[in-house]
Amino acid sequence: MSINLSTFIATECASDDRHPVALYQLIHQVAMCCRDIAAAVDRSALVGTTGSAGVDNVQGEEQKKLDIIANDLMMEGTQTHTALAAVASEEMARISRTSQERTAGQYLLLFDPLDGSSNVDINAPVGTIFSILKCPSARAPATEADFLQPGSEQVCAGYAIYGPATMLVLTTGDGTHGFTLERDSGEFVLTHPRMSIPARTREFAINTANTRHWESPVKRYVQECMAGTNGPRQQDFNMRWVAAMVADVHRILLRGGVFLYPQDAREVSRFGKLRLLYEANPMSMLVEQAGGMSSTGQQRVLEIQPHALHQRTPVMLGSREEVERLENYHHHVRRPLPDLVDALRNLWTEY
């Protein structure tokens, strides 16, 4: 008998006393928002919502029309939820407190409303990434500082991927589970319970157009993979790159592999490209709960102490043995001026 998301959540509520019913109700509401976003993506070419919106977001990046639509759908669908104290989005400069005049919300929601939105124009996979934290200010209005928690403090992480089928993948700290949207009923049905990433892989995902900007450990790793059976790894590797983190990570959860978005020479002041709170942390939790590993090359992603709402970080995640190899390569390279780098990191704030 198939298990839908509502049944799965009810079972989790009955068997797991770590989280109250309110959390699972919030997760279900986020899933319904993802279902609405999937519908908006499906009909975008028919109603003229593909392409640029003609404005930049807080990151200084060009917004797509669907970035704005997806952000609005998530905000409208969650703002009145009684368990929620405040929301932060990759597309918004500041947090948004819930519309109800109260301070009793237990949770904070963070999300990237449409990861890989440039792929919409070519009908390639895109997705929504989300993370839920406990709100430490239960008796006072939530503040931006409340969101600056390490990824290890997440109580839920997940994403929806909009491709040939719409899937929702989530974890509350007890395994990573995948649900497929049954379009006729509008229900998410459990199709991939307890997803597991193989420890070994022969597949990696990285944008090799940036090779000249990478640090030497990443160059070494990729060169060894590309050398194939004639190189030190003595095996052939395949390279994949979808240009949407949600799609590349989804592939890894289903069949293994490693995803790399390392720091490069153009991003020294930002310490990476991907957003820690909206992308790196939730994806890292999902990967770790599926038996994989996630690192910056220097430390576990989930142990980073955030200092800004839109902070960025390098990310290397996926099959454990490959991430361990990458960490080993990084640890054997003397980093230039480590004290200066640490000082800059402590002083840096998002502008």
Which residues line the annotated binding site for Mg(2+)?
90, 112, 114-115, 279
Q: Note whether 84 and 105 are within 8 A (CB).
A: yes
Helix residue ranges, H only, the chain = 5-15, 21-42, 44-47, 65-78, 216-227, 245-255, 281-289, 320-331, 338-347
User: Which of 162, 156, 161 is closest to 176 using CA atoms?
Assistant: 156
Q: Which residue has the tokens 């449409």?
A: 114
Tokens representing 219 are 């160059």
Cα 256–Cα 261–Cα 262 angle in degrees, nearest 5? 120
Q: Which residues lie closer than 8 Å to 209 by C-beta, 6 or more apart?
A: none
181-to-45, 125, 164, 331 alpha-carbon distances in Å: 21, 15, 11, 43
User: What residues are designated binding site?
Assistant: 90, 112, 114-118, 207, 273, 279
CB atoms under 10 Å from CB of 195, counted, come to 21
What gap in Å lies between CA 218 and CA 297, rounded to an integer? 9
User: Which residues pair with residue 240 across a beta bridge?
Assistant: 205
User: What residues are designated binding site for substrate?
Assistant: 115-118, 207, 273
- Dihedral class, residue 228 (left if φ above 0, else alpha if ψ from -120 to 50, else beta): left
What gap in Å lies between CA 341 and CA 314, rounded to an integer? 15
Backbone angles phi, psi at 149, to 5 degrees: -115, 145
User: Which residues pair with residue 275 across a beta bridge?
Assistant: 312
Q: How far is CA 258 from the centre of its chain?
A: 15
What gap in Å lies between CA 96 and CA 183, rounded to an integer? 31
